């Protein structure tokens, strides 16, 4: 499974408005993969979690999957619309 699809499925399992989740991926100039995760504004609390613990857990799981796939560095930006 591609890292973008994996991130999308992971975030969709956490939010209520799963059809509003959008993940875009692009590479930085130093071969860092940047994942832009967009969720509905009402789901930001669920994605961030208490003291940012859910966001940190999501980042850790995605980075572990990227490591398994043999990808380089991955940055995850979480935002709402």
For position 72, what pLDDT does the model report?
87
Q: Which phi and psi (to 5°) does residue 72 adopt?
A: -80, -145
CATH number at residue 7: 3.30.300.20
Question: Which residue segment(s) compose the domain that 73 sits in?
Answer: 3-80
Tokens of 45: 């609390």
Q: What is the pLDDT of residues 10-54, one digit of tens each?
A: 999 999 999 999 999 999 888 899 999 999 999 999 999 999 999
Asked whether the beta carbons of 47 and 39 are under 8 A apart, the reply is yes
Instruction: Tell me how many domains the chain contains.
Output: 1
Place of tokens 């959008």: 22
The set of residues, in sequence order, having a beta carbon less than 8 Å from that of 50 and lying 6+ positions away, is none
Residue 1 in this model has a pLDDT that exceeds 80:
no
Tokens of 75: 């940055």
């Amino acid at each position: 499974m591609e890292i973008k699809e994996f991130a999308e499925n992971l975030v969709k399992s956490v939010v209520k408005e799963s059809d509003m989740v959008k993940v875009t991926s692009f590479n930085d100039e130093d071969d860092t993969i940047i994942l832009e995760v967009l969720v509905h504004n009402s789901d930001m609390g669920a994605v961030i979690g208490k003291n940012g613990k859910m966001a940190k857990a999501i980042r850790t799981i995605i980075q572990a999957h990227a490591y398994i796939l043999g990808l380089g560095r991955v940055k995850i930006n979480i935002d709402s619309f």
